[in-house]
């Protein structure tokens, strides 16, 4: 029996946007498009920004740099994840997520078709 996996969806968020809020929103929407297919397979989708953005809003700007918080949250989150789905596109953060996952022996998928369905 395959239990449901907590799978981090990793891909471009700020990369290639030049800080344009509309482009960042499109990147987040692209990450979120992978959530429903993972759910249909019986898994739990996770996106690091879903966790990191509220953390950033709650911190005093003097406490940290945005990129550091994003990477730190992803690294902590990967202690609880069972795998990573790496979406296409240049992204230092997503590449870092893949490196952490591989260091921890977690599977890294590059297509939803590679992910086995969870059984009931």
pLDDT in tens, 62-115: 777 666 888 999 999 999 999 999 999 999 999 999 999 999 999 999 999 999
Backbone angles phi, psi at 21, to 5 degrees: -55, -35
Q: At 47, which CATH number?
A: 3.40.50.10400
Backbone angles phi, psi at 109, to 5 degrees: -110, 145
Question: Could you tell me which residues are beta bridge partners of residue 86?
Answer: 10
Range of the domain at 18: 6-112
* pLDDT > 70 fraction of the chain, expressed in percent and rounded: 96
Q: What is the pTM of this model?
A: 0.93
Q: Which two tokens stand for residue 10?
A: 């990793």
Q: Is residue 12 part of a domain?
A: yes
Q: Is residue 117 part of a domain?
A: no
Q: E strands within the chain?
A: 6-10, 44-46, 83-86, 108-109
Give the count of domains, the chain. 1
């Amino acid at each position: 029996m395959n239990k449901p996996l907590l799978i981090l969806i990793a891909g471009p968020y700020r990369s290639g946007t030049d800080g344009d809020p509309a482009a960042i929103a499109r990147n987040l929407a692209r990450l979120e498009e992978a959530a429903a297919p993972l759910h249909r397979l019986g898994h739990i989708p996770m996106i690091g920004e879903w966790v990191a953005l509220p953390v950033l809003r709650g911190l005093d700007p003097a406490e940290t740099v945005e990129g550091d918080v994003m990477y730190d949250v992803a690294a902590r989150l990967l202690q609880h994840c069972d795998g990573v789905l790496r979406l296409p596109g240049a992204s230092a953060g997503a590449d870092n997520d893949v490196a952490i996952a591989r260091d921890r022996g977690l599977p890294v998928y590059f297509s939803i078709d590679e992910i086995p369905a969870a059984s009931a």
